[in-house]
Structure 1
Amino acid sequence: MKKNIAYFGEIEINSPQETTEGKVTIDNHQIELDLNFYDGVPEHDWVAEYESYIKDLKQHKTNVEAAIRSDYEDGGDVKEYVDFHLEELDASTLDKVLAGTDASKSKEERLLSVLKLTRIGFYPGDEDYAVWDYTIGREITDLLVVVNTDSTGKINYVTWEN
């Protein structure tokens, strides 16, 4: 049975492809989406679960970004990500990354402010239902700040990875 899934188009819901790609625009930024079924199709109604999550996408984004800020302020993985890039990037690259940020703030705060959402991966049936990827620029680094949420949008954890 095929069904039209928001941001992904028409999908065979009982036997979807392992990965289906889509796009959404949030706050004038285009975000890549992917729907992943590596472990097969879950037995519960994954379409309803997805639709419930996606209808609150902007609120989830607000919560994810609050978790990133909180993790940074608590000296967690986001602080490590920021510190790592301040140490590793050469001065000219860092100047390019920080261009247009508030020069009255610390370099750490400025680097944190340029983190942008680039991708949300959905994994129906998994505990880490949605994976939110943030970067200071894919042309600058392969490393990402990653936030995982459950299917209700509750934050599972914040980390950084490549």
Structure 2
Amino acid sequence: MSKVASTHFGEVELNHGRDHNLATVHQLSGKPVELDLSIKAHDHFDEAGMHKVDYRLRFLPELVDEVREMIATELEEEGTAPRQYRDFHCCELAPEKLQEIFGVEDTKDLTNKVFLNALKLGHVGIFPGDPERYFVLDFTLGSHFTDEVLVASADQDGVVDDEIEWTS
């Protein structure tokens, strides 16, 4: 089996003929983010594919900013997943939870901006065998608060899908 060095994942085995998942923690703006690289047995994943993953990860900050802008826009619209997620997770919170999660003491101070600041990128799944959902980004209010996330995906060229989903 041949191996290739990855900036983010260390030594990666190529042409392994079985499902292969690699996990690491990456610092993004000083915050830890879990990265998972999922290679399926039938994927043609070679040295160029690994270099593409490392190259695309250089643009992760811009991708995150774009998704955050989309979430901000959707928070203003009724019926969107980000709006429903916010409304569900922010209703009837005890003052100590408001302070802990959002840094405010009263629900009237829980604006979209405050909510968006509390929403963090917690996980990025990378699927080189799926060019349409190459990156899958999970945003959370924190695993200590909820196991539900807002999910956005981007294709192999870094183009973000226009649909943000709410899932657990």
Q: Which residue of 1 aligns with 2:60?
A: 57
What is the CA deviation profile of residues 40-65 of structure 1, one whole-angstrom value per residue up to 9, with x for unaligned ones? Answer: 32367422431331121221121121
5+ unaligned residues in a row in structure 2: which ranges? none
Q: Hey, what does 1:4 align to over in structure 2?
A: 5
Percent of aligned pairs with the same residue?
26
Q: Which amino acid aligns with 1:58?
A: P
Say if 2:20 is the partner of 1:14: no
**Quick one: distance in 2 between partners of 1:43 and 1:98?**
42
**Partner SS state of residue 91, structure 2:** helix
> RMSD of the TM alignment (CA)?
2.5
Q: 2:145 aligns with which of 119, 140, 143?
A: 140
Q: Counterpart amino acid of 2:56?
A: Y
* TM-aligned CA deviation for residue 87 of structure 1: 1.9
SS in 2 for 1:124: coil
Q: CA deviation at 1:82?
A: 0.3
CA deviation profile, 1:84-109 (whole Å, cap 9, x unmatched): 0112644432332122x598x74142
CA contact (8 A) 1:46 1:125 kept: no
Q: CA deviation at 1:20?
A: 0.4
- Map 1:27-46 → 2, pairs under 5 A: 27-38=29-40, 40-42=42-44, 45-46=48-49
TM-score normalised to structure 2 length: 0.83
Q: Report the alpha carbon displacement of residue 111 of structure 1 after superposing the two structures with TM.
A: 2.1
Distance 1:106 1:149 in 2: 33
How many residue pairs are counted as aligned between the two chains? 161
Amino acid in the other structure paired with 2:96: S
Q: Does 1:67 align with 2:50?
A: no
Q: Counterparts of 1:89 and 1:39 in 2: how far apart (Å)?
A: 45
Cα 1:39–1:66 change in 2 (3 A) is farther
Return the alpha-carbon distance in structure 2 between the equivalents of residues 102 and 91 of structure 1: 6
Asked if 1:125 is matched to 2:129, the reply is yes
Task: Using the TM superposition, give the Cα deviation of residue 2 of structure 1 relative to its aligned residue in structure 2, in angstroms.
Answer: 0.4
Moved more, 52-61 or 87-96: 87-96
In the superposition, the TM-score normalised over structure 1's length comes to 0.86
Instruction: Indicate the residue corresponding to 1:23 in structure 2.
Output: 25
Q: How far does residue 134 in structure 1 lie from its aligned partner after superposition?
A: 0.9
Q: Which runs of 4+ in 1 moved over 4 A?
A: none
- Counterpart in the other structure of 2:159: 154
